[in-house]
Amino acid sequence: MSHNCNKCPLRARHDKKPQSLLGRFWRWHIDFCPGWKAYFTSLNIEEQQTLRDKYNFTKYR
């Protein structure tokens, strides 16, 4: 299954301006998005840790 989370326009908005409305929406959204979960859990441990640190993400440990 292909996941486009690494090319998501909302994620790009968050990376550019994390405090914008769309940036905050994307960050809230990843806490329950099934696509993000599938994408995130498909990554290796080092990539997961990088995303955890970057987005202050604590789920799916």
- The pLDDT of residue 61: 82
Of residues 20 and 3, more confidence is placed in: 20
Spatial contact of 26 and 10, defined as CB atoms under 8 Å apart: yes
Q: What pLDDT is recorded for position 2? A: 61
Mean pLDDT of 29-45: 95
For the segment 42-54, the average pLDDT, to the nearest whole number, is 96
For the chain, give every domain's residue range.
5-55
- What angle is formed at CA 51 by the lines to CA 16 and CA 14, rounded to 5 degrees? 20
Per-residue pLDDT, averaged over 14-35, amounts to 96
Assess whether pLDDT exceeds 90 at residue 60.
no
Nearest to 30 by CA among 16, 45, 44, 15: 15
Q: What is this structure's pTM?
A: 0.88
pLDDT of residue 19: 97
| Residues 11 and 2 sit within 8 Å (Cβ to Cβ) | no
| Amino acid at site 4 | N
